[in-house]
Amino acid sequence: MTVMKKHAGQPASTVTATKAKASFSAVLARAGYQGQRIVIKKGTRPTAVILGYEDYQMLVDLEDRYESALLAKILKEDRFLTLDEVTKRLGL
């Protein structure tokens, strides 16, 4: 099966929690097979997002890259403290 991706910048679909519950299979199909991101609202407040697994995995990968870049920056700036330095600063 081919997953059709939404283009970046397009707004996510929004449905109420009641409607999402009543048509959960359709909501899953839209997210999983059509690449839509669907915001679930409870009342007027957005509370959750349903997205396809490929989009989820992309977000996890981006998060990993971001954290790796932060760690590389911290290591480059030598901002880590040894355990001895921490205990000294805390007066332990």
12-58 per-position pLDDT tens digit: 899 999 999 999 999 999 999 999 999 999 999 999 999 999 999 99
46 with 2, same domain?
A: yes
On whether both 38 and 66 belong to a single domain, the answer is: no
| Residue 6 located in a structural domain | yes
DSSP state of 47: E
Residue 31 burial (C-beta neighbours within 10 Å; 0-12, 13-18, 19+): buried
The whole domain housing 19 covers: 1-51
Mark whether 20 and 46 lie in a shared domain: yes
Residues 84 and 66 placed together within one structural domain of the fold: yes
Q: Could you tell me the pTM of the whole model?
A: 0.65
Same domain, 1 and 46: yes
